[in-house]
Every structure is written in C-alpha cells, then in structure tokens.
Amino acid sequence: MYRAEPDPGLAGQADFWPRGKVLGGSSSINAMVWVRGAREDFDDWSAAGNPGWGYDDLLPDFKAIEDFDGGENAWRGVGGPVHVSRIDKKIHPLTHRYLAAAQAAGLPANPDFNGATQEGVGLYQLTAKDGRRVSSSRAFLRPAMKRENLTVLTGAQVTRVLFEGRRAIGVEYRCNGRLETARCRREVILSGGAINSPQLLQLSGVGPADLLARHGIAIVADNENVGRHMADHQGINYSWRAKAPTLNQRLRPWWGKLLAGMEYLLLRSGPLSISINQGGGFFRTSPDEPRPNMQLYFQAFSTVIPKPGERPVLNPDPWPGFSIGLSNCRTHNRGTVEIASPDPFTAPRIVANAFSHEKDVADMLAAVKFLRTIAAQQPIAEIIEAEIVPGPSVQSDDDLIADFRKRSGTVYHPCSTCRMGPDPEHSVVDSRLRVHGVDGLRVADASIFPNLIAGNTNAAAILVGWKAGAIILEDHA
C-alpha cells in the first residue's frame, strides 16, 4: 500500500541544507480536504504527557495557519498562509441529495467540521485558492525560499543522520548519483513523514536494538518505539448505479476529460477545480460511543470497472454512478514500519495490521450497514437504480466483514511511528519534538502524532510543522 518513494522535494529543514537549486513546481489540480481533527484528539495528545498540545493550546495556531474564505470567528482564522476554500457553490447536484439523505438517516447538519463540533454531515473545505491547490510548498516553502539563510536541494535523498557520539551533526544524502554530507551548526530536523522518518532513524542507529542488530547497524540509541504504534485510517467505498446524471458522464469520454481540462485551465472551475470528495460527515456507530468514530465521503462519481494499468480515478464507469465512502476515525489496531535492509534505497517493511482488533471490525460492520441506511433514504433512494458494489448479495455480517477486509485500504493517513511522549519507554520524541536519548535531533511530521486523529491528517501535520518552528525559535532564543 505504501511506497517509500521520496519525491524530488527534499524533506528535512533548517540550516543544514546544502546549497543547490530548486526544480519543478508545486501546483496541482487536486486540492486537499481540510479537516483539523476533533478537539478531543488533541486533548488526548496533551493528556498523554505533552504539555502545550491540547486543543485550547493549539487553537491560536490552527487559526493563524488559515486563511478561511468563510471569515473569522471563534474557531476559524483569516490571513494565514493556507487558504481554505468552501465549495458550497461548486458541488455536484447529487451532493445535495446525499446531504438530505444523511440527515434523513439521523445525522445533524454541520456547517463546519473545523468549527464548534466535528459531528454531523456537511461539505468538505479544501486547501485551494481560485481553483488552484495551496500545497504546503506553496504556502510555506516558496515564500521562505526568498530568505538568504535557506537553501533547498531537490532530487536528493537523505540516507542517514550523522552522529558524533550521541549528538546529531548532520545528514548524509545522495544527489545526482553522489553521496554527500551536510553538517549542521545547531540541529537536524527530520520531516520525512510517518514512513520515512522512522526508516531514517533506524538506518541511523536510533531504533529497536534487535532490529538494528539484525541489519548490522551500530546502535546510537536503543528505542523500541521507533517505527511502532503505526495508526492509519482504513477506508472503503460502496457504489451505486444512478438514474440521474453524475460526473461519470462528464469525465468518462475523452472529449469530456478534454473539456474539463480546458474549463480548469481557462476558468479555474469545473470538476477538476474541487475534490472528488465533496460531501462529508462524522458519525457514531452507536450512541454509546463518546464521540464520532466514523467519517463519510460522498463522490458523485464511480469507478467500479477499472481499466487494467490505469488509475481508476481517471476512468469513471460507463453508466451514471456515485459512491459513498467510509473511514474509521481512531483505530485500535497498530502497525509497524521496519527497515528491510541497511540499504536506504530499499523500501521499509510496512505492516498495517488493519482489522486485527475486534472493535475495529465491529465498528466498520456497523458503519457499512449505516451506508445502506443513508442510501435507503428518499432523497437518494429515488435516484438509485442498483447497488453495484458490494452488491445486494452481500448481506450477512460474515459477508460484509469479508468484503471490507478484502476491499478496504489505507486512506494514506499513517502516523505515530515516532510518537511524542514524556519518556523513551513509550515514545520517540518529547513534547519539544527532541528525539529521546540523543542530542541535536528533532522530528516534525505526522510520525510524532501521539495518536491518530479523527479526520484527514494534513492540517494536523501542518500544525506540527508550524508549532515545531515556534518551539525551535524559543529553544534557540
């Protein structure tokens, strides 16, 4: 599912970057869904022994990061580097039917998942401005590249952190086929993401002693938490054939793709200017759940019939179709990331262990049944011709479970593989993001989440980077 495949944008930040030139651009058609996570998620982070990481502590940061086009209020910010757009005026008409059906099924309407509460059904907001994606590169890196003291090197892969004793003194990296080193004056900050940051630590001698010994890597700091506790959202789609037009008719034919492409390029509008996931929601699979434990995604689009070798998203079905997707919010299973070789160019071994915990199975079973409850409500039921996937023959609990075990997959939200906490017995970095047991080394990315949040992880990952900046400035003041 995951690939340890660095793209040409070098990870890791700070003053150790060697001089070089920047290649390529950061803009992309597909904007990302912007969901911060639930207040309780961050309160859990703080309760896990991380002062300063509770929701009330972080709210000013979340607000400062944002430039929300819905305006400022108690929860939302304007004027920040990440433009967040509402999509109310751009959604496909079927999305209105989904919203009405979900409410008919008992969910409250929620005008803002990033506002007073996450619970309920509503529209996603996107990291986009005027139809153009606002990536973290566009929001943060490119403006910072005007500074004299920042050099960005692309096409480079860090292969290990260099240590003198227990102090990180720089990194080794490969660029243009050559192995280079970059030394730092103060510290090294790894931001390789939840797969590659633990991989890099392990390659550098910081990790479980038995794993490092197995690969002949000299131990700098034995910490069994590096690469452990991996959490991720597991998602699945149900798809229906519709009696009403969907995006399939617009995006299936070559001329439809061409028109949509031209509409995007000329007007920055049309289906390519917003996310496939337009409607969303957060709900509880049982009233006994203390908070929403499932997330919804509505797509006026279906890709049941894949073409071999092509990304399904590029090939909508030949008939009108739509999908409602689900992912769990806070899984109970935990996975691992372990190096498979001392060679930094060998992908690490990732074991997700999805649905290895019975609570995750029970929650997903209840959730997929609720998808059908939504689909049975009049606003949407009246335009359904047939359920295509998994299809009406899949009814029993055993069959539903077998189906989601087979068809579900990562939503690409891995985290917690270098989790934050007060001691090295249970965590990898402290609340100031310093790696336990060594000096001069921090990690700042989704790997440090003490636990998985409810919702898409990009906003929380950006928050970690934002707060890391403030912490580092404070520590070096």
Ligand X SMILES: Cc1cc2nc3c(=O)[nH]c(=O)nc-3n(C[C@H](O)[C@H](O)[C@H](O)COP(=O)(O)OP(=O)(O)OC[C@H]3O[C@@H](n4cnc5c(N)ncnc54)[C@H](O)[C@@H]3O)c2cc1C
Residues marked active site are found at: 413
If the CB atoms of residues 33 and 168 are measured against ligand X, the closer one turns out to be 33
Q: Which residues pair with 153 in a beta bridge?
A: none
Smallest distance, Å, CB 141 to ligand X?
10
46 binds ligand X (CB under 6 A): no
Smallest distance, Å, CB 12 to ligand X?
6
AA identity, residue 54? G
454 binds ligand X (CB under 6 A): no
Cα–Cα separations (whole angstroms), residue 365 to 79, 95, 397, 398, 401 = 42, 24, 7, 9, 6
**Contact call for residues 248 and 319 (beta carbons, < 8 A):** yes
Find all residues with CB under 8 Å of 458, minimum gap 6, and list them: 32, 33, 34, 127, 136
| Binding span for ligand X by CB under 6 A among 141-149, 190-198, 292-300, 364-372 | 190-198
32 binds ligand X (CB under 6 A): yes
Q: How far apart are CA 456 and CA 441, in angstroms?
A: 27
If the CB atoms of residues 11 and 121 are measured against ligand X, the closer one turns out to be 11
225 binds ligand X (CB under 6 A): no
Please select the residue that binds ligand X; options are 192, 335, 390, 440, rule is CB under 6 A.
192
Q: How far apart are CA 215 and CA 209, in angstroms?
A: 10
If the CB atoms of residues 101 and 326 are measured against ligand X, the closer one turns out to be 326
DSSP 17: P
| Binding span for ligand X by CB under 6 A among 93-101, 114-122, 186-194, 231-239 | 186-194
Length of the chain counted residue by residue: 477
Please select the residue that binds ligand X; options are 292, 456, 466, 467, rule is CB under 6 A.
456
176 binds ligand X (CB under 6 A): no
Q: The tokens of 362 are what?
A: 């029970």
Scanning residues 395 to 434, which ones bind ligand X (CB under 6 A)?
Answer: 412-413
Q: How far apart are CA 407 and CA 1, in angstroms?
A: 12
457 binds ligand X (CB under 6 A): yes
How many residues in the shown chain lie near ligand X by CB under 6 A? 24
Q: 441-443 and 279-283 as β-strands: parallel, antiparallel, unpaired? A: unpaired
329 binds ligand X (CB under 6 A): no
157 binds ligand X (CB under 6 A): yes
Q: Which residues pair with 474 in a beta bridge?
A: none
153 binds ligand X (CB under 6 A): no
Find all residues with CB under 8 Å of 32, minimum gap 6, and list them: 126, 127, 133, 275, 456, 458
The residues of the shown chain that bind ligand X, judged by CB under 6 A, are 6-7, 9-11, 32-33, 157-158, 191-194, 196, 200, 412-413, 445-446, 456-459, 461
